[in-house]
Amino acid sequence: MGDTKKEYVVSPEEKGSINISEDVVAAIAVSAALEVDGVCELAQNSSGYRSKKNAIKGVKLTIGDGSVIVDLQILVKYGQPIPQVAQNVQEAVANAIESMTELKVCQVNVRINGVTFAENAASGQ
């Protein structure tokens, strides 16, 4: 059906190696983004930020040599200042990933895929 092989960030240490699943890094990014005021949810469009490698909706990671680039697609609540929400997402995601994984976040690219209105957000649409 799909490729079930997990991708890991490997950090060799004196006492062995530390392996962090890319899904864990993506989950940290999602959680941090959703905590930002003005973000309704993460989105996915037809360009498919979802892949076998990064199976979490709305997130694409590019990881290499102890650094990461994060691409996120979000829906913003109507009435929120979109540039400020996007900047807050960039800061929150970078801080969360760096503090929890010690990976250096080179970029957090935020794509606004839409605006949600109060009645849509309340009903889960």
pTM of the model: 0.81
- Please give the domain boundaries of the chain with CATH numbers for all domains: 8-123 (3.30.70.1350)
Comparing CA positions, the residue from 66, 73, 70, 20 lying closest to residue 42 is 73
**Above pLDDT 90, what percent of the chain?**
60
Give 14-24 pLDDT, tens digit per residue. Answer: 788 888 999 99
Mean pLDDT for the chain?
A: 84
**Which amino acid, 57?**
K
Give 39-54 pLDDT, tens digit per residue. Answer: 999 987 545 444 444 4
Give the confidence band of 6 by pLDDT, cuts at 50, 70, 90: low
